[in-house]
Amino acid sequence: MAPILLVFKNHGASAGASMSHSHSQIMALVPPTASARLQTTFPFEIWIIPLAHSSHVHDIDGEKAADLGGLLKLMLRKMSLQLNNPPFNFMIHTTPFQDTCSQLPYAHWFLQIVPQLTVAAGFEMGTGRQINPVLPEDAAKILREVCISS
């Protein structure tokens, strides 16, 4: 696949411009299909993925559901404390429910938490990609270091 070439213009603060003056930019990018699995999308985005393979969220047993609930509560609390209680989106990604509980080896369910810390601007709207200003390793370290008092 050939690289994508994008020319875009941002005008005005509410257009998400990174500079105070009107400006244009030209960017060449690797096609999304080639790079999508290698990129992080949003700053402080959290994925909670079970260690044991399972295609369907409804396969989780009671004990693991309680553990998952505790981990979800912990991560939301750390995110709230560190990031000043940001607005966020929470999604459960699972394969479609089926009459049979067959596992799909290529699909794994997971939880995704996305704090809303950035605004989409010309680049994001023009390419369908996001700019993540925080390295995922740094975000993980910051969240790991948040102390939760009981």
Residues labelled as active-site residues: 23
Q: How many CB atoms lie within 10 A of CB 129?
A: 20
- Identify the three-state secondary structure at position 17: coil
Q: Residue 115: exposed, middle, or buried by beta-carbon count in 10 A (0-12, 13-18, 19+)?
A: buried
Residue 148: alpha-carbon gap to chain centroid: 23
Q: How far apart are CA 114 and CA 123, in angstroms?
A: 20
DSSP symbols for 40-74 = --STT-EEE--SS--S-GGG--HHHHHHHHHHHHH
